[in-house]
Amino acid sequence: MKGLRIGLTLRVVAVIVVLGLAVFPLYWMFVTALTSNADLFGQDARLIPDFSQFGVFVDALADGKATGWLLNSLTIAAGTTVLSIGLGIPLGYALSRFRFRGKAVMTIVLLFTQMLPEALMVVPLFALFRRFELLDSLTGLVLANSAFVLPIVALILKGAIDGIPNELDEAGRVDGARPFTVLTRINIPLIAPSIAASAVIAFFHAWNEYVFAVTFIFNPEIQPASVGIANFIGELGTPIQTVMAVAFMFTLPAVVFYLFVQRYVVAGMTAGAVKG
19, with CB counted inside 10 A (0-12, 13-18, 19+), is exposed
Question: Is 184 found in the same domain as 75?
Answer: yes
Query: In sequence order, which residues have a C-beta less than 8 Å from that of residue 84 and are 6 or more positions away?
Result: 145, 146, 149, 150, 153, 198, 202
**Could you say which residues of the chain have pLDDT below 70?**
1-3, 234-237, 264-276
Question: Is 128 found in the same domain as 230?
Answer: yes
Give domain status of residue 271, yes or no.
Answer: no
- 142, 216 Cβ separation under 8 angstroms: no
pLDDT tens sequence across 156-188:
899 889 888 888 888 888 888 888 888 888 889
pLDDT tens sequence across 72-106:
999 999 999 999 999 999 999 988 888 888 888 88
Handedness of CA 268, 270, 273, 274 (dihedral sign): negative
According to the model, what pLDDT value does residue 43 have? 73
- Domain containing residue 10: 1-53
User: 13, 32, 53: which is the final residue of a domain?
Assistant: 53
What CATH number is associated with residue 141? 1.10.3720.10
CA distance 211 to 270: 39
- 154, 91 Cβ separation under 8 angstroms: yes
According to the model, what pLDDT value does residue 273 have? 40
Q: What is the pTM of this model?
A: 0.83
CA distance 271 to 130: 47
Question: Is 222 found in the same domain as 122?
Answer: yes
